[in-house]
Amino acid sequence: MRRQRGFFELLADAGDASPACESRRRWLTDTVLLASVAGGSRALGLLPAGLLPAAAAGAASGDLLASHPELEILNDRPINAQTPAHLLDDSVTPVSRMFVRNNGIPPENVDPETWRLAIGGEAVLKPHTFSIAELRERFEWHTYQLQIECGGNGRAEFRPPAPGNQWTTGAVSCARWTGVRLRDVLEFCGIGPSAVYIGYRGADRHLSGDPAKAPISRGVPMSKALEDESLIAWALNDEPIHPLHGAPLRLVLGGWPGSVSGKWLTGIDIRDRVHDGAKMTGTAYRVPCEAVAPGTTVADDAMCIIESMPVKSLITHPASGVTVDRSATLAIRGQAWAGDRSVAEVAVSTNFGATWTPAKLAPAPNRLAWQRFEASVRLPGAGYYEVWARATDSASVTQPMLVPGWNPKGYLNNACHRIAVQAV
């Protein structure tokens, strides 16, 4: 009789570096579904293919995610990992529960003492290169809690499927960042009258190993760069930034796609044009300027750059798949955010959106931070239920109940989050 082998045994074997074993490891990480991890976007559903808890993926990631053992790995080259929804219940996201989004290979042997940040570009009046010590000494420090969400968060729900990491709900965080205002640094260097955009440069390496290629170099219009909350940061939750999150220096621009918050920051250019760095052109971080039918091929020049992220909410308590006492009051908690706007209200439903119960919504600690909501509901009896959450922003825009307009890269899915509950 052929002995059956467990998943963890197969995964351990798959860590071999030979081509055959690499193929087998890829098959495992691309096809195994783990039902034991709760909190996915589909009620009582299995996780999307290719999604492994970090603790089970040592062969894929080595020790890189040892400090983030609760995350689910979507990709190991480069490392990309998300957080189960029920682990995002903290008002301030702990570093260990922050999603990881990389486009290239992070730098190694980083020395904050020798790190430099160069400010240049066509529209800078006085180019200057700063050490971190000079940034800390010359400019006033600021701390903000800032919400960062990957533009592709929720991509796994689009049909037809969109290419890229199949994020479900966990590519979002709201941690405390400390640094200096980007505005103060740019104004020190002089913003020329032709300035319209900034673009960043980082120290991460392209997957090809070609030093002439940048894995990513994105930017934002001057209006976003000059906001009070736009930071050049060196601290995360009052500690030095973790290597996976951009140590020793990172750009943090809350409310817009996380890709504009450049990690391992080495340069910022003040541009006299829309920045044209890596992943600023073509279809990267763009959606059709006009609505299209699912599956439509869209020309590059018909795609518009994503700016402020849409209103969204996430149920963080209880975890999806929980069994509850049908006679008890069910406590619901979660987070809500709205890009550049604030959240005006949140409601929850236990009958698939037929009726809604208003939730108590806390104010944001500062602009561009998420807001915590709480609600209490009673289920009418035993059986299967889904709890849905729906947020409305300060411009009266409400989350859709279904996956919104399809786009070729699977961006901006802000459909209502839902969890499954079994009442007994």
Over residues 344-355, mean pLDDT: 97
Q: What is the pLDDT of residue 371?
A: 98
CA distance 86 to 349: 18
What distances in angstroms separate CA 284 from CA 190, 241, 300, 391, 405, one per listed residue?
30, 27, 9, 27, 17
Q: Supply the pLDDT for residue 56.
A: 45
Mean pLDDT, rounded, of the chain: 88
Query: What's the pLDDT tens digit per position in 353-393?
Result: 999 999 999 999 999 999 999 999 999 999 999 999 999 99
- Cβ 89 vs Cβ 317: under 8 Å: yes
Distance CA 257, CA 268 (A): 18
At 385 the pLDDT is: 98
The pLDDT > 70 percentage for the chain reads 85
Q: Residues 412-420: what's their mean pLDDT?
A: 98
- pLDDT, average across residues 308-335: 97
Longest Cα–Cα distance of the chain, Å, equals 78
pLDDT band at 64 (very low <50, low <70, confident <90, very high): low
Of residues 74 and 50, which shows the higher confidence score? 74
Distances (CA, A) of 128 to 120, 171, 189, 230, 267: 7, 34, 6, 19, 10
Query: Residue 137, exposed/middle/buried by CB under 10 A (0-12, 13-18, 19+)?
Result: exposed
Q: Which pLDDT band, with edges at 50, 70 and 90, does 65 fall under?
A: low
| Total residue length of the chain | 424
Q: How does pLDDT run across 322-331, given as a tens digit for each residue?
A: 999 999 999 9
Tens-place pLDDT, residues 202-257: 999 999 999 999 999 999 999 999 999 999 999 999 999 999 999 999 999 999 99
Give the chain's end-to-end CA distance (angstroms, integer).
42
| pLDDT at 48 > cutoff 90 | no
Per residue in 107-128, is it b (16+ CB within 10 Å) or e — as a string? Answer: beebeeeebebbbbbebbeeee
Q: Which percentage of the chain shows pLDDT scores above 90?
A: 83
Q: Is the pLDDT of residue 102 over 70?
A: yes
At 373, the amino acid letter reads: F
Name the residue type at position 75.
N
Q: Distance of CA 398 to CAs 29, 174, 184, 194, 289, Å?
A: 36, 21, 35, 37, 20
Q: Is the Cβ–Cβ distance between 256 and 285 less than 8 Å? A: no
Confidence of residue 287 (pLDDT cuts 50, 70, 90): very high
Output the CA torsion 45→49→54→59 (10° steps): 150
Mean pLDDT of 58-62: 44
Summarize the confidence of residues 8-15 as an average pLDDT.
Answer: 36
pLDDT at 76: 86
pLDDT at 154 (0 to 100) = 98
pLDDT computed for residue 67 by the predictor: 85
User: Stretch 344-349: mean pLDDT, rounded?
Assistant: 98
pLDDT at 413 over 60: yes
* Residues 407, 415 contacting (CB under 8 angstroms): no
Q: Looking at the predicted structure, is the pLDDT value of residue 183 above 60?
A: yes
Tokens at residue 58, please? 């040592």
pLDDT of 139 reads 98
Percentage helix, strand, coil for the chain under 3-state DSSP, each rounded to 5: 15, 30, 55
Q: How far is CA 381 from CA 79, 378, 422, in A?
A: 44, 9, 10
Sign of the CA dihedral running 271, 272, 278, 284: positive
Q: What is the pLDDT at residue 3?
A: 36
- Which pLDDT score, from 0 to 100, does residue 53 have? 52
More confident residue, 386 or 14: 386
- Specify whether the CB–CB gap between 366 and 144 falls below 8 A: yes
CATH numbers and ranges of domains, the chain? 7-101 (no CATH), 116-305 (3.90.420.10), 312-423 (2.60.40.650)
Question: 32 pLDDT exceeds 90?
Answer: no
Q: 178 pairs with which residues across the strands? A: 143, 235
